């Protein structure tokens, strides 16, 4: 392992992984490959932009010629694939992009990795492939039951990864992360959206009764979990990366508001999202057996996240304009109006 192609690494978790890997492994060459869609942001990579072992290439994982060129130019021996359309709400509004990137793009990346003789291919996936579970914890061998176009596209990508391992012998490993939060997260997801809206005393459109349960994982713990799976995971296996911190959305929002010194009255219950899964929860004993341990509690992670958005308005204020405002209007305007009736 020497030259690592990290796709989708101008996004939230991918950029955290790139920053970590550049610092942790100075003898590795980290090649970030990103299409720079709306959620891809080179500001996320500013902390490593001058490092000798970092290189950026702009491109689409569904562009076979571009993937070939990058793999050959940098003599890539390892691929970590974060590249994906990743927001459930957007997948309901426009699923085409999810199928193109998450399924077709992953297939092209796998196929070129095989041709190029890549030694290790890690696919970053999600707990949402398991679907809604009423109780207990999802295990790596559990049946997939995706309920949104996003989770279905990620499940499809995982099946293609498995096929390339079984059929062609490609050395693959999959990680499935739980609900990740932290600095540099695009403000369409619950915490960055609500933190930045609350800072401006704007209403917070909380879906339904807010009692949906998510397993909250701080981004730096997610990154170290991927690192462990990359270096120690068994070929052909999947590993859950879980926060083991199951909380109702409304409780998370209230804790966030308390840290900001803002009132709970900002919360506005709006009509729920179509097909909204009620509960996700995973067992991560398999990854823990490889030596992974989390370093952040939910309390320390949430406080670090809130403080980061307070201290980095330069990063998020310029994002919340243009295309972002159009999306916000489409997604929430009617819901907020209904909440006021």
Strand order in the sheet with 172-177: 54-58, 29-34, 3-7, 78-81, 120-126, 172-177, 237-241
d(CA 336, CA 253): 17
Nearest to 58 by CA among 91, 83, 76, 80: 83
- Can you tell me whether residue 126 is helix, strand or coil? strand
In order of their start, the domains of the chain are: 3-179+218-241 (3.40.50.720)
pTM value is 0.95
pLDDT of 340 = 67
What amino acid positions are annotated as catalytic residues?
127-128, 150
d(CA 301, CA 256): 11
pLDDT in tens, the chain (341 residues): 999 999 999 999 999 999 999 999 999 999 999 999 888 999 999 999 999 999 999 999 999 999 999 999 999 999 999 998 766 777 777 778 788 889 999 999 999 999 999 999 999 999 999 999 999 999 999 999 988 889 999 999 999 999 999 999 999 999 999 999 999 999 989 999 999 999 999 999 999 999 999 999 999 999 999 999 999 999 999 999 999 999 999 999 999 999 999 999 999 999 887 777 889 999 999 999 999 999 999 999 999 999 999 999 999 999 998 788 888 888 888 888 887 66
Whose structure tokens read 């600095």? 183
Q: Are the C-beta atoms of 111 and 63 separated by less than 8 Å? A: no
């Amino acid at each position: 392992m020497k030259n690592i192609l990290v796709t989708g690494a101008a996004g939230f978790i991918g950029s955290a992984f790139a920053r970590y890997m550049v610092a942790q492994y100075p003898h590795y060459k980290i090649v970030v490959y990103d299409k720079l869609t709306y959620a891809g942001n080179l500001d996320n990579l500013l902390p490593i932009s001058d490092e000798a072992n970092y290189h950026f290439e702009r491109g689409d994982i569904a562009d076979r010629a571009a993937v070939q060129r990058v793999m050959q130019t940098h003599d890539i021996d390892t691929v970590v694939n974060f590249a994906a359309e990743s927001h459930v709400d957007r997948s309901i509004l426009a699923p085409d992009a999810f199928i193109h990137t998450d399924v077709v793009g992953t297939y092209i990346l796998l196929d070129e990795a095989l041709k190029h003789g890549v030694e290790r291919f890690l696919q970053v996936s999600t707990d949402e492939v398991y679907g809604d579970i009423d109780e207990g914890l999802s295990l790596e061998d559990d049946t997939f039951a995706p309920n949104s176009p996003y989770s279905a596209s990620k499940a499809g990508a995982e099946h293609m990864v498995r096929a390339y391992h079984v059929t062609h012998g490609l050395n693959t490993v999959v990680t499935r992360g739980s609900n990740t939060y932290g600095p540099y997260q695009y403000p369409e997801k619950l915490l960055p959206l609500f933190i930045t809206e609350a800072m401006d005393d704007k209403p917070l459109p909380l879906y339904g009764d807010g009692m949906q349960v998510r397993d909250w994982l701080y981004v730096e713990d997610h990154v170290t979990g991927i690192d462990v799976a990359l270096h120690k995971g068994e070929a052909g296996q999947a590993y859950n990366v879980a926060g083991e911190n199951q909380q109702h959305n409304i409780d998370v929002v209230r804790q966030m508001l308390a840290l900001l010194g803002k009132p709970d009255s900002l919360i506005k219950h709006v009509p729920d999202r179509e097909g909204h899964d009620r509960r996700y929860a995973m067992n991560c004993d398999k990854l823990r057996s490889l030596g992974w341990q989390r370093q952040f509690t939910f309390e320390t992670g949430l406080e670090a996240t809130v403080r980061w958005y307070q201290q980095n308005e330069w990063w998020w204020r310029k994002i919340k304009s243009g295309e972002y405002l159009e999306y916000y209007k489409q997604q929430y305007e009617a819901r907020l109006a209904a909440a006021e009736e």
